[in-house]
Amino acid sequence: MNSEVSSLLVVMALACVHVYAGTVSALHRRWHARTLSAAAGISVAYVFLELMPALAEDQVGLEQDGGLLPLVDRDVYVLALIGLVVSLWVETAARSSRRRQRRAGKPDVTELGVFWLSVVSFFIFNAATGYAVASPGDQAVEPLWMFALAMGLHTLVNDHSLVEHHGEKYRRIGRWLLVGGLLVGWSIGRAPGIEIPAEVLAPVLAYLAGGLIMNILRHELPDTDRTTDVAAFAIAAAVYAVLLFSLRPGG
């Protein structure tokens, strides 16, 4: 199977998670804390064992080429921090909006402006994801099925939170726009004649890393004062790490 077909299948699989997460059956399913911990463990293992080392390599190469941001060292880490701060801002805005709605005696969902802020933010995040998947041979998303597993679990839990924040607006409009973000990013990455240089892909991966870390911390981790939750987190992270290392060339 060539890389184009493989990357398209990954993007379509992630799109299917968005579609499923907004269905009635998914919305009425109560997620056990252990399940959330396991999903978080896999996502954390991906961030620290794949994405962060890839960023470190990108930073070395970018420094040799003069860097991305004028007068700023450690460019990719600055961009990762920006991704984290943007994700935190969007989450805080959503929670504040719901509080205002409750105080006004309205349904416990976000206002329209905050809904669009969230959708635009996650559209960009998904476009970055699709773009990264489309980049041939990039080690941060290889093997693709392992990347799909980590991102798929992250997407499933995160979408559950988006439905909680935005209600019917997300089910009717939001999830389909996020699917479109994946496809737009993938299409740009696979456009004929376009080669993705490191100085372009590096900020994409940095933005992904920052957003992933924030979403893991905020959406995926349940209360960790129960040993079973911590065990599920650790076991899932360890299993994913073992699989990741065993699939590496020479592993």
Quick one: pLDDT at residue 219? 64
User: At which residue do the structure tokens 């206002």 appear?
Assistant: 111
Burial-class residue 163 by CB neighbours within 10 Å (0-12, 13-18, 19+). Answer: buried
- Cα gap 139→55, rounded to integer Å: 10
Rg (CA), the chain: 18
Quick one: pLDDT at residue 239? 93
Closest CA to 215 of 58, 101, 94, 77: 94
What are the angstrom distances between the C-alpha of 56 and each of 61, 73, 169, 172, 195? 9, 13, 39, 40, 22
What φ, ψ does residue 135 adopt, rounded to 5°? -75, 115
Specify whether the CB–CB gap between 189 and 61 falls below 8 A.
no
Q: Where are the alpha helices (DSSP H) in the chain?
A: 3-21, 24-27, 33-46, 52-64, 75-103, 112-134, 144-166, 168-169, 175-189, 198-215, 227-246
User: Where do the structural domains in the chain lie, given as residue ranges?
Assistant: 3-15+34-246
- Cα gap 162→153, rounded to integer Å: 14
Closest CA to 115 of 165, 179, 158: 165
User: Which residues does 31 contact at the CB level (< 8 Å), separation at least 6?
Assistant: 157, 160
To 10 degrees, the CA torsion angle through 144, 149, 155, 158?
Answer: -140
pLDDT in tens, 72-102: 567 778 888 888 899 889 989 999 999 999 9
Specify whether the CB–CB gap between 11 and 186 falls below 8 A.
yes
Quick one: pLDDT at residue 135? 76
Q: Going residue by residue through the chain (251 aa), what tens digit of pLDDT does each one get?
A: 567 788 889 999 999 988 887 665 555 555 667 777 788 888 888 888 888 887 887 777 666 666 555 545 677 788 888 888 998 899 899 999 999 999 999 999 999 999 999 999 999 989 988 988 887 666 667 778 888 888 888 888 788 788 889 988 998 899 999 999 999 999 988 887 766 666 677 777 788 888 888 887 776 655 544 445 778 888 999 999 998 888 765 55
Quick one: pLDDT at residue 68? 57
Farthest CA pair distance, the chain: 61
